[in-house]
Structure 1
Amino acid sequence: MEALKGQGGVQMLLTAEQEAQQIVANARNLKMTRLKQAKDEADGETSRYRSHMESEYRRKISESTDNSGSTVRRLEEETVKNIQSLKDAGSKVSSDVVSMLMKHVMSAKT
């Protein structure tokens, strides 16, 4: 009987070992599944953050391009106004300049 009891104990140990191996294998599979899920979630979050930052960057570039375009237009308008005011000032004094030049040319010492 003792031999049968020993055999049953060994068989119970083998069964328990197999069950333990299955539990460990299931735990490993669950761990790997969770790690894959966590990696996928992190990749998704990274992609969302990257796309958000890229859209912010494009928006800022667009705004600065618009601002530089309006700055160029404003500078062109100011330049045209300055040129016109110089022309006006030149035309006002041109007759005086011509008179002064004529006076000096006519009064040349020989």
Structure 2
Amino acid sequence: MDIMRGQGGIQMLLTAEQEAQQIVSSARNMKLARLKHAKDEAEQEAAAYRSSLEKEYERKVSETSGCSGSNMKRLEEETETKISSLSDATSNIRSDVVDMLLKHVTTVHV
């Protein structure tokens, strides 16, 4: 009878060990599932944040590009005005500069 009790005790220990392994396995699977779920949520949040930043960037680019067109036109007009005023100024003093250069080139100092 002691042998029967010993075998019954061993059988109970084996059964308890199998149950413990199932519990540990189940806990690991649940942990992996929670980690996967957390990772998926984090990726979704990151994608949403990235999307919102890209939209904000595109909005700012579109706002500034409208202004840059008007700024570009204004700068072109200012440049043309300055070029024409410089052309007028050079044409007014061109003959004086040429006369001065000829005088200095042709004058001999002894």
TM-score range with shorter-chain normalisation?
Answer: 0.7 to 0.9
Question: Identity of counterpart residues, as a percentage?
Answer: 12
Q: Which amino acid aligns with 1:28?
A: E
Distance (whole Å) between structure 2 residues aligned to residue 14 and residue 94 of structure 1 = 115
Deviation, structure 1 residue 93? 4.6
Deviation, structure 1 residue 25? 1.2
When structure 1 is superposed on structure 2, of 36-45 and 100-109 the one drifting more is: 100-109
Question: TM-score, normalized by length of structure 1?
Answer: 0.74
Deviation, structure 1 residue 28? 0.7
| Count of matched residue pairs | 99
Instruction: Show the counterpart of 2:31.
Output: 42
Q: Tell me, yes or no, if structure 1 residue 64 matches structure 2 residue 58.
A: no
Q: What do residues 39-62 of structure 1 show as CA deviations (whole Å, max 9, x unaligned)?
A: 111011011001011111111221
1:1-110 to structure 2, matched below 5 A, reads 12-93=1-82, 95-108=84-97, 109=99, 110=102
Distance (whole Å) between structure 1 residues aligned to residue 2 and residue 24 of structure 2 = 32
Question: TM-score, normalized by length of structure 2?
Answer: 0.74
Distance (whole Å) between structure 2 residues aligned to residue 83 and residue 33 of structure 1 = 73
Q: Which amino acid aligns with 2:58?
A: G
